[in-house]
A and B are shown apart, each in its own frame.
Chain A
Amino acid sequence: MSASHQSPPVAASEAAPVERRVFALRDALVDRGLVEAGEAEALAHHALEELSPANGARVVARAWVDPDFRQRLLANATAATKELGIEGIEGRQMVAVENATATHNVIVCTQCSCTAWPLLGLPPDWYKAAPYRARVVREARVLLAEMGLQLPAATNIRVWDTSGETRYFVLPMRLRGQSISRKSDSPVLLLGMR
């Protein structure tokens, strides 16, 4: 790069903070009638407060103690999670897949960052990172080990690429020695969810 091109058109220090730019964009959209007043705030509240991995933990806990619910979850995750009041954007077509000794399931969106928001919340940065997306379809076992999960050599790995309309949710194997009250569907089981 030549010396005359070292400065971008607007230096970073001159740009408004992201919050101000977001609010300016929101106001412009409201002024033009493209979104209603309050709509952006409602969406932000939904995204930050209601879409949460705590929902997924509730579903896992329920499936572990309630065999009928587990069956309904694996047959139709969208309908089964709705029983618990869990639904929303990016959750119109959800499929639950179950881990077993023989098969470990992994979710990725190789093209972007799609995932089941109502159950898992907005995707974490590592899920959106290019190295995760590129490597997990190529060498999941090595990548998972780097991330702290050593899978037995006899366990097959099934990677689900969220490349279309379907959003996947993995039902983990119940942890050994874990005791859960039948009434419990509290989010105490977040470990390993994301």
Chain B
Amino acid sequence: MPVSDPVARLPVLQTEHSEAPEARFSPGDTVRVIAKATPGHTRCPGYVRGKEGVIRLVYPLAYYPELRAHSTVKRREHSYAVEFAAAHLWIEGDPSQTARVELFESYLEAQ
């Protein structure tokens, strides 16, 4: 029996029409992660909230996790590999360390 991805089989009950297929940010752009924490499921790690980073990679459209977790609406948007300096994230952070975190567009605002 062929194995299929259980997540891919989830029914799309409704798709929001306000999809934005164009990526809002480009590699090299400086962005800030929204500081406000939203209740419920998120894929935005707490340790980068409110922090400034640089777009390194632009990823394809994917379903926005908050909507997929909490509603029957699915909306796709771009995500990005955003680079943060560890020294910016942590007290006494290692100056030779960076973190590249995958973040959805809705988590980011232009700087």
Contacts and interface: CB of A to CB of B under 8 A. Distances in A.
Interface of A: 36, 38-39, 41-43, 46, 88-89, 92-93, 95, 110-111, 137-141, 153, 155-166
Contacts of B45: 110-111, 161, 163
B97 interface: yes
A89 B3 contact: yes
16 contacts: A38-B1, A41-B1, A92-B8, A137-B86, A137-B89, A138-B86, A138-B93, A140-B86, A140-B94, A140-B97, A141-B97, A157-B97, A158-B97, A163-B44, A164-B59, A166-B102
Contacts of B8: 92
Interface residues of B, number: 30
Interface in B1-47: 1-3, 5, 8, 43-45, 47
B81 interface: yes
Interface string B88-111: 011001101111111110000000
Contact of A164 (B5, B43, B94): B43
B62 interface: yes
Given A95-B57, A138-B90, A88 B96 contact: no
Contact of B94 (A93, A141, A161): A141
